[in-house]
């Protein structure tokens, strides 16, 4: 009897460890929601066709891993396989599909992330670099997460698509000197010295809806939109990477795909951690810890 109890306990602990530390995998939904990926792909394709910026916004959401806009796709998947596909996985796939829809590279998205049970402003503030910080601080935030400086520059190449609000580039167009004067003058028309904070300009003025290497070419011509973008060319080691990407788009595409896989695998919640949100905007209704434990155990027994 004692030995049976011991065996049971041992299996329970092993299962808990295994499920709690589950790895991401590319075929995570193969049996539980086989059409998940094609559903996301066609939803992204039609959203980007209607409004190209949607692709950029989805990519940025994946970077910030916040869930505000993923709800349309989420509701389609809830109809297809309720309670199965996490919002975090939807964003990871939607970001990849958005980039492909805008002409960028593709990669295999590893799946099995779960959603957080909290939404903490302070966690966002300490993990997401404020756009107004200088380059050194930005690089530090990324290296702190395990990225090399090279990978960080590669990821910043995301600014080849999408737009930014006047409030984030006003200093650059009125106060900075390392900016092409014609470029600055044209931007001032829509971004006055005061007011118009939310007026938009493309991050890549040359080809704002194409995922290409124009962002890096622009930097070499002092046409970076954000202060942090243009600061990249001041650093010797970074300068050589920018020149390389300007001359060789294929290198940028390959490096970008690899860096996105790494970004998507940063300490994800897996196994029994976190939850599958019903609504991407908020965590599921709170349940008391005791109910939660009962449910966890029911789940474990159903595996047995
Ligand atoms: C040094 C770090 C970074 C800084 C300081 C930064 C800053 C910004 C700022 C200020 C905007 C404009 C936001 C607005 O006006 O609302 C923006 C847009 C954007 N960022 Fe970044 N960013 C950084 C890294 C990244 C990374 C790593 C990615 C993706 C992997 C990314 C993807 C984007 C995209 C796609 C947009 C356009 C979004 C849209 O049009 O809706 N950024 N970024």
Say if 59 falls within a structural domain: yes
Residues that are catalytic: 64
On whether both 87 and 136 belong to a single domain, the answer is: no
How many Å apart are CA 304 and CA 291, to the nearest integer? 20
Mind listing the pLDDT tens digit for each residue in 72-93? 789 999 999 999 999 999 999 9
Where in the sequence is the domain holding 211, given as residue range(s)? 130-262
Ligand 1 contacts CB of residue 145 (under 6 A)? no
Q: Please state the domain count of the chain.
A: 2
pLDDT of residue 11: 56
Q: Collect all residues with Cβ–Cβ distance below 8 Å to 43 and sequence separation of at least 6.
A: 72, 73, 76, 94
On whether both 208 and 226 belong to a single domain, the answer is: yes
Cβ atoms within 10 A of the Cβ of 117, count?
A: 14
On whether both 188 and 217 belong to a single domain, the answer is: yes
CATH number, domain of 101, equals 1.10.520.10
Mind listing the pLDDT tens digit for each residue in 136-186? 888 888 898 899 999 999 999 999 999 999 999 999 999 999 999 999 999
Say if 299 falls within a structural domain: yes
User: What pTM, to 2 d.p., does this model score?
Assistant: 0.85
Q: Band the pLDDT of 3: cuts 50, 70, 90.
A: low
Q: Whose CA is nearest to atom 10 of ligand 1?
A: 131
Distance, CA 105 to ligand 1 centroid (Å)?
Answer: 18
Q: Collect all residues with Cβ–Cβ distance below 8 Å to 67 and sequence separation of at least 6.
A: 61, 87, 88, 91, 115, 277, 280, 281
How many Å apart are CA 204 and CA 56, to the nearest integer? 12
Any binding-site annotation on 115?
A: no
């Amino acid at each position: 009897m004692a030995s049976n109890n011991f065996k049971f306990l041992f299996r329970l602990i092993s299962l808990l460890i295994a499920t709690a530390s589950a790895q991401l995998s590319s075929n995570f939904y193969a049996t539980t929601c086989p059409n998940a990926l094609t559903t996301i792909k066609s939803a992204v394709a039609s959203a980007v066709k209607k409004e190209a910026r949607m692709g950029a916004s989805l990519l940025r959401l994946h970077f910030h891993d916040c869930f505000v806009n993923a709800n349309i796709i989420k509701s389609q998947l809830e109809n297809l396989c309720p309670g199965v596909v996490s919002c975090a996985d939807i964003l990871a796939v939607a970001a990849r599909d958005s980039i492909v829809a805008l002409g960028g590279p593709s990669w295999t998205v590893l799946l099995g992330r779960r959603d957080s049970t909290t939404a903490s402003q302070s966690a966002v503030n300490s993990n997401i670099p404020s756009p107004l910080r200088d380059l050194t601080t930005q690089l530090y935030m990324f290296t702190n997460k395990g990225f090399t400086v090279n990978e960080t520059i590669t990821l910043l190449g995301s600014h080849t698509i999408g737009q930014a609000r006047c409030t984030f580039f006003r200093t650059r167009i009125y106060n900075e000197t390392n900016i092409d004067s014609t470029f600055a003058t044209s931007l001032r028309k829509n971004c006055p010295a005061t007011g118009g904070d939310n007026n938009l300009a493309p991050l890549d003025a040359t080809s704002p809806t194409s995922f290409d290497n124009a962002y890096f070419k622009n930097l070499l011509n002092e046409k970076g939109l954000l202060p942090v973008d243009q600061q990249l060319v001041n650093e010797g080691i970074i300068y050589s990477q920018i020149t390389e990407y300007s001359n060789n788009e294929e290198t940028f595409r390959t490096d970008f795909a690899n860096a996105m896989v790494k970004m998507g695998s940063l300490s994800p919640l897996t196994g029994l951690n976190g939850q599958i949100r019903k609504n991407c905007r908020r965590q599921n209704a709170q349940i008391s810890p005791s109910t939660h434990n009962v449910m966890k155990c029911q789940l474990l027994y159903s595996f047995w």
